[in-house]
Amino acid sequence: MDVEPPAVHPKAPTPGTELGIHFDECFGCGDEFEAGLHLRSRIGEAQTVYSEFTVTAAHQGAPGLAHGGLLACAFDEALGSTVGNLLRRPAVTGKLETDFRRPVPVGSTLYIEARLDGTAGRKIYASADGHLDAPDGPIAVSARALFVAVGFEHFTTHGDPAALKKLADAQEKAKRVREGRDWEINP
Ligand SMILES: CCCCCCCC/C=C\CCCCCCCC(=O)SCCNC(=O)CCNC(=O)[C@H](O)C(C)(C)COP(=O)(O)OP(=O)(O)OC[C@H]1O[C@@H](n2cnc3c(N)ncnc32)[C@H](O)[C@@H]1OP(=O)(O)O
């Protein structure tokens, strides 16, 4: 099947939008676990998403240096957020390839620029570059990923349906509050 240019969803957040946390307990972006990556993302121009991740002592492999697997985790999150927010299609990572080009010390911040590259049926291609300590700093890590679009039953069948329901209820409540129709709070 031919790869087509990605079709950004008409309701995708606009450039400049801060993306926030999609799930409190997500290791990539959540705030529930202190050792998590606490990645923060916002929509950029032209089908891109910018994310920042500061390496702490909890992310070490060698003394003073980030663990490669945790750097890959940051890219999984940044790329997943790009796919989820721009296409608004539930999808999971099928393949993630990382190039580690420079060491990333504890205390440094990676500025990750992720982009959609194309789609082919359920397959979604995305890639990203991680710049060291500044948005235009040297590229320390880059990654390419294949995401595969799935139905919501992927998460209910294989994940925790009760936690999913809690998350969906919280998102619905936040939407009601945003739209000024949360009658419980604002009768
Ligand atoms: C309304 C929505 C609104 C959304 C709003 C968004 C808000 C925020 C959003 C989001 C932020 C999220 C941030 C999170 C980021 C983290 C994401 C993760 O880490 S996900 C966890 C890790 N990944 C897994 O656990 C997958 C486990 N794998 C599977 O479940 C299956 O293998 C799956 C679904 C990937 C594919 O299985 P099959 O049976 O459904 O489909 P088959 O036929 O095998 O694959 C489909 C096509 O993909 C290719 N494919 C699949 N895996 C491949 C691979 N590893 N390499 C190459 N090709 C692969 C196949 O060859 C096939 O291609 P051909 O259609 O034949 O051309």
Low-confidence ranges of the chain (pLDDT < 70): 182-187
pTM of the model: 0.94
Give residue 125 CA to ligand 1 midpoint distance, Å: 11
How large is the ipTM? 0.96
How confident is the model at residue 185, as a pLDDT?
Answer: 52
CA dist 51 and 21 (Å) reads 12
Give residue 95 CA to ligand 1 midpoint distance, Å: 8
Q: What is the CATH number of domain 40-178?
A: 3.10.129.10
How confident is the model at residue 147, as a pLDDT?
Answer: 98
- Tokens representing residue 182 in the block: 């949360």
CA dist 9 and 87 (Å) reads 5
CA dist 120 and 83 (Å) reads 14
Domain segments of the chain as ranges: 40-178
DSSP 152: T
Task: State whether the beta carbon of 90 lies less than 6 angstroms from ligand 1.
Answer: yes
Whose alpha carbon is nearest atom 53 of ligand 1? 94
- Tokens representing residue 121 in the block: 């049926």
- Going by C-beta distance under 8 Å and a sequence separation of 6 or more, which residues neighbour residue 137? 111, 131
Task: Find residue 63's DSSP bridge partners.
Answer: none
Whose alpha carbon is nearest atom 63 of ligand 1? 123
How confident is the model at residue 187, as a pLDDT?
Answer: 44
